[in-house]
Structure 1
């Protein structure tokens, strides 16, 4: 009997291209394994991915990963949990980084009161800077929000009224009210492996109620691996498992869900939409 979890590349679902809209390919978990990881992603039908910089001093390394691999794009910002440890970013700094052709988003930024409530003031200051950079560059803001629903909703409403910007609420696992606020502002919700966990019925209900054209899918690799890999290192190939759950939640076929989330990604991440690599990694 074979107890090895199924690999997405062996699943007929991969006939449709997928996008992993949020991962962290620079993390030590992937050291020495990037070529294999990207090849496994291709086999699983993942033709594009966005690797996220969470500390701006690490931006050159993340940029180099994107430059070295077709279909890999990147975004940069200061993660809220690092807001008290890192130098405060400037709008000009973020705008300058955005000139790179593979730089496609601002962040991740946001608020995290679960572990870092003591730095809330710094997190809010950092978030405001990232929002202004998103306005100036017309690139989407990538938001991390944890245990900060009320403050996050207030800031997003106020800032959007002061000047529109695009946004994705990445790895969405907050409440229904914040989801409604984000969707009312025209933002996107991104589904991670959390939505595939058995006890995540409330999160699945939030996605089921969302407009389908506002849903993305991601891994947040190396974190939050979906079943059947839960508890292990996550990687972009495993977005296929989460996408299968997403298809069930939205009541559509896996092929249609892949096409939907890819189109949604292109609509939000317009710079990445200009290149559509094949599953072999070659430009089409």
Structure 2
């Protein structure tokens, strides 16, 4: 079994989702997590997890949307996460590539999500782009007040950040970016990280892996990334499936 630890099923129509889940099962992707990006969108996450037994969810505010309205308090985030099938906080983090929200607003939002993850006892799904130093600094500062589990999702950052995250007990999730021809350095990182910190995802509908570039991504495509991750580490696809599924359940302990 393969788990897609980060996708956006609410970007698809209700009619499409049923077919997407069928194709995922046929590809061996039997479980997935649909991700929160705003407080209003949390309702869509809950509808999906209630409708489909193989889908779990998270709640949070994406850094692109951090300046939209009022950032939820720690208490509000924790309350949203009380649903039995909401298994994580996020995605939150920092994106200095697009800078769609002011950086100070992104940082405050990231800190609130860190604190909510700690209070709720749930892992934090972290979006990190062109912000390695601040991601590592804020994680270290917030963890000084008490540890919380976290995952750097759709990892495409530096080896330095991967190492800092692992030192802090974090996990690293690889998307279709791992399969791209120019991702040599990323594959080198994937090859040497501890096996007990590796997860898989699609971030669908974005970042379709090779050989499906140009198509709209969906959870079934996690299998292609799994194949490349297995090749990077010199193990079988079956073994990488076992490793990443076990890691998923260790990190997202609320998932039943």
TM-score range, shorter chain: over 0.9
Report what 1:104 is aligned to. 87
Distance 2:210 2:100 in 1: 31
Report what 1:207 is aligned to. 190
Unaligned runs of 5+ in 2: none
Answer yes or no: is 1:24 the counterpart of 2:8.
yes
Per-residue CA shift, 1:72-118, capped at 9, x if unaligned? Answer: 00001000011112420111111111211100000000000001176
For residue 138 of structure 1, the aligned residue among 121, 127, 148 is 121
For residue 160 of structure 1, the aligned residue among 143, 148, 151 is 143
Report what 1:126 is aligned to. 109
Tell me how large the CA RMSD over aligned residues is.
1.0
**Offset of 1:176 from its aligned partner?**
0.9
Q: What TM-score, normalized by structure 2, do the two folds share?
A: 0.98
2:154 aligned counterpart, secondary structure: coil
Q: What TM-score, normalized by structure 1, do the two folds share?
A: 0.88
Structure 1 outlier segments of 4+, above 3 Å:
none
Distance 1:37 1:177 in 2: 36
Q: How many residues align?
A: 256
2:212 aligned counterpart, secondary structure: coil
Distance 1:53 1:118 in 2: 17
Moved more, 90-99 or 101-110: 90-99
Answer yes or no: is the 8 Å Cα contact 2:95–2:127 preserved in 1.
yes
Unaligned runs of 5+ in 1: 1-16, 275-284
Which one has the largest radius of gyration? Answer: 1
Distance 1:190 1:249 in 2: 14
2:173 aligned counterpart, secondary structure: strand
**Offset of 1:58 from its aligned partner?**
1.1
Distance 1:92 1:224 in 2: 33
Report what 1:92 is aligned to. 75
Query: What does residue range 1-284 of structure 1 map to in structure 2 within 5 Å?
Result: 17-27=1-11, 29-30=12-13, 32-116=15-99, 119-272=102-255, 274=256
Residues 223 and 93 of structure 1, relative CA distance in 2, 3 Å threshold: same
